[in-house]
Amino acid sequence: MMRNAGGALPARHILGNYELFEEVGRGGMGIVYRALDLSLDRIVAIKILRDDLRAHQSIVTRFSREAQAAARLDHPNIVQIFSVGAADRTPYIAMEFVDALPLSAVMQREHRLEWGPALKIAQQIAAALGCAHDSHVIHRDVKPPNILLDDHQRAYVTDFGIAKILTVDDNLTVDGTRLGTPHYMAPERCKNGEVTASSDLYSLGVLTFQMLTGRLPYEASTPVAMMQRIIAEPPARARKYVPEIPEDVDRLVAWLMEMNPKHRPESGHAVCEAIDRVLAGRPLDIQESRSAAVIEEFRKDLAADTSANRTTVSEADRSVRFRRGVMIGAGIAMLIVAGSALWRMLQPAAPPAIAARPEAWFEPARVAEFGNEGDNVLLVELQLNGYSIRDMYPAGADGQVAVMLERGGGSEKHVLATVSPSRREAGIQFVAGPHSRFAMLASASGVSGSLFEGYGLVRAENRSALVSLREMSAPIRLNSALAESLVAAMHPAGSQWVSAETDSNGKTLLVAHAYANGQTESRAITPAGSPIVTVQYSRDGQYIAYVRESGKNDYSLRVISADGVESEPTPLRSGNILISAGAFNTDASQVLLSSNAAAPRVEAISAADGRTLSTFDDAVRGAWDPRRDDVIVTAKDAKGVLQMWREQPAAVREQLTFLDHGIYEEVLVSPDGQWASSHAQASGNPSVVFVRL
């Protein structure tokens, strides 16, 4: 059914007449395996009902109805159903195996598509939905994971797992839960109203919007808030985010997402015809058809008058009425054109894309676009197309972060940018040429009057320098002892920093540096040993945590006084572990570490003896909230997408972000505890997501 997205089964497994090979996908109700049909010697996809659902007879019944509904559909853009049955009390569906990727995976890789290919994919989906609707089948869950795309850009609609047959009274539900995905739900569905074929077309509009822009028309912090916005607010227009999209493409998507179902296209076939017009460069036939309808209505009225009066209409009267009809039609057409022009005039001007000229990168108004993605969630899209975020560092108490970006896998230009969520400002601070390497130290606190407040340490092309995080400035050259260091941390007060450096024997030690009166003083604070991969200061600057690499996937964590030690203490923890920014809690009594074992986990351990004090299962990375000593973690949501959460021992995990494409693993918390931040995956440009805590 799709390319391998799972794993091989532990041993040869036979289910009825099929040999199952490996898992290739999961849906809300079932698991899909690539399999061999032993009787026909052909590769198929086998979908079996999840173990935890088989005990519910109503769900088993609906699972069978899914197959019966989908098996009647014969269309080149719908995955074909071969058979349905049960073996060893396991219900299954055998279907066509499609060597393709889910559209969600393609979107995660491409972020957004050009409007031509996006419309061609949407047209194939519309054709498939038109076929299903002709057979009185509604899909009810049109979204990227349920669309497969092969190497030839052929789209397949799959997983009619929650489709209903319109002509059958079917009240089955899964444990009373609402069916479908809130982001793609039509307004009438969010209000528990009647679900029709038009509801699928609305979902297709949302999906097309996402292909064109790399984002969704609505975002919210909770599913309930999401549905409230869908019910109450008109959806965003695609051209707001991608101005180069042709106007007719924008209007087509808006037509699909009309809040009133009666104002949407009448069928999937009508959508296909409209897309044909747009792809051919002809006007989208919405306004034209309305004008034609007015003239046609006038002609019918004229004929009705003639029949009712049973009199002959004079040529003069006919001419007057015709001219009147033409004037009415022309007047309406003029109003439509004028209204369209007025609508374009009222749209906010989109910020121009950042220029390729380096000097233009320092114009703050052109660096980033700020947008709210739900309650207390801010998405900042950096206008640096082709760049990716390599790392982020805390850079101020107001939530400001320093973002290091690279292009060409590090072989082209590097850019250091700063972003402030509280001031909604962004700026490019430092640009380096090809083959550059960076180490950036950002202040972990906003201590007023500190020399290093708002400064960072950058290494580029064998040159290390302090740079201002508020203006492009690199006035201070550092000593050569630091020139090769790429692992370092800044003291919270800003007057000191510590770096991992290599001695003449190739061993690594920690060196503390202090800057005063234009001079830098340095001293070793640990013995030399194996490579040091991470170092972090406690919030008060009195302690240092660092991790040494002992072997492949083997690391050891130590905590020492910032004054240094003559001999290293016994490791607090060893194994496949790491620490991140924000590892220390407020009083430095606990350290957060992440385990990269088979199952991800974040642990809070004692900084004194390494005892586990709290465990946050399934969390990937974490950082302390200094105000409450809660932990902000990244962990997967129900869709398997990384989101940001608030963790408290013995309490329910609270989800903070609901971004469709999720975030990256690392999470930062500002020193004042006002903001949490991470890399975002919501658009084609590098993006940063901020959450107000």
Tokens found for residue 546: 């660092």
- Among residues 23, 42, 43, 41, which one has the least CA distance to residue 33? 23
Q: How many residues does the chain have?
A: 693
The string of DSSP codes covering 488-550 is EEE-TTSSEEEEEEE-TTS-EEEEEEEEETTEEEEEE-S--BSPEEEEEE-TTSSEEEEEEEE
Tokens found for residue 394: 């805390």
Instruction: Please state, in angstroms and as integers, the Cα–Cα distance from residue 665 to each residue in 80, 536, 615, 680, following that order.
Output: 38, 18, 18, 10
Q: Determine the straight-line distance between the first and last CA of the chain, rounded to whole angstroms.
A: 42
DSSP 179: P
How much is the pLDDT for 129?
95
How much is the pLDDT for 283?
79
DSSP 131: H
Instruction: Please state, in angstroms and as integers, the Cα–Cα distance from residue 1 to each residue in 76, 103, 123, following that order.
Output: 14, 13, 21
- For the segment 669-692, the average pLDDT, to the nearest whole number, is 85
Q: Who has greater pLDDT, 69 or 144?
A: 144
How much is the pLDDT for 368?
84
- Among residues 636, 630, 625, which one has the least CA distance to residue 669? 625
How much is the pLDDT for 477?
43
Instruction: Please state, in angstroms and as integers, the Cα–Cα distance from residue 449 to each residue in 445, 452, 586, following that order.
Output: 12, 9, 22
pLDDT bracket for residue 278 (50, 70, 90): very high
Residues 6 or more apart whose CB falls under 8 angstroms from that of 598 comprise none
Span 8-96: which CATH code? 3.30.200.20
Residue showing tokens 């569905």: 189
pLDDT bracket for residue 310 (50, 70, 90): very low
Flag whether pLDDT at 256 surpasses 90.
yes
Radius of gyration of the chain (CA): 30
* Three-class DSSP category at 86: strand
CA distance 183 to 176: 19
Flag whether pLDDT at 54 surpasses 80.
no
Dihedral angle over CA of 125, 131, 136, 137, nearest 10: -40
List the catalytic residues: 141
Q: Who has greater pLDDT, 556 or 394?
A: 556
Span 101-274: which CATH code? 1.10.510.10
Over residues 101-134, the pLDDT tens digits come to 999 999 989 999 999 999 999 999 999 999 999 8
* Three-class DSSP category at 349: coil
- For the segment 647-666, the average pLDDT, to the nearest whole number, is 85
Over residues 359-402, the pLDDT tens digits come to 443 444 467 888 888 778 998 988 887 788 888 888 766 788 88
CA distance 334 to 595: 66
Over residues 424-483, the pLDDT tens digits come to 888 776 666 555 555 566 554 433 344 455 566 665 544 555 565 554 444 444 433 343
Provide the residue ranges of all domains of the chain, joining segments of one domain with +: 8-96, 101-274, 287-346, 358-692
How much is the pLDDT for 459?
59
Positive or negative: CA dihedral 222, 224, 226, 232: negative
Instruction: Please state, in angstroms and as integers, the Cα–Cα distance from residue 548 to each residue in 300, 511, 667, following that order.
Output: 86, 15, 22
* Three-class DSSP category at 201: helix
Q: Rounded to the nearest 5 degrees, what angle is found at the Cα of 336, between the Cα atoms of 335 and 337?
A: 95
CA distance 363 to 383: 11
How much is the pLDDT for 434?
54
- Among residues 54, 55, 85, 50, which one has the least CA distance to residue 67? 85
Tokens found for residue 209: 């919007």
How much is the pLDDT for 203?
95
Output the average pLDDT for the chain: 77
This prediction has a pTM of: 0.49
Over residues 192-220, the pLDDT tens digits come to 777 889 999 999 999 999 999 999 999 88
Cβ count within 10 A of residue 452: 23
How much is the pLDDT for 338?
40
Cβ count within 10 A of residue 542: 14
Q: Which residues pair with 534 in a beta bridge?
A: 547
Q: Is 386 left (phi over 0), alpha (psi -120 to 50) or beta?
A: left
Tokens found for residue 227: 């549905």
pLDDT bracket for residue 605 (50, 70, 90): very high
- Among residues 227, 144, 231, 127, which one has the least CA distance to residue 183? 227
- Among residues 539, 665, 637, which one has the least CA distance to residue 182? 637
Q: Which residues pair with 545 in a beta bridge?
A: 536, 559
How much is the pLDDT for 412?
63
Tokens found for residue 46: 């086998």
pLDDT bracket for residue 503 (50, 70, 90): confident
Architecture in CATH of 358-692: 7 Propeller (2.130)
How much is the pLDDT for 458?
61
Q: Which residues pair with 41 in a beta bridge?
A: none
Q: Rounded to the nearest 5 degrees, what angle is found at the Cα of 274, between the Cα atoms of 271 and 276?
A: 110
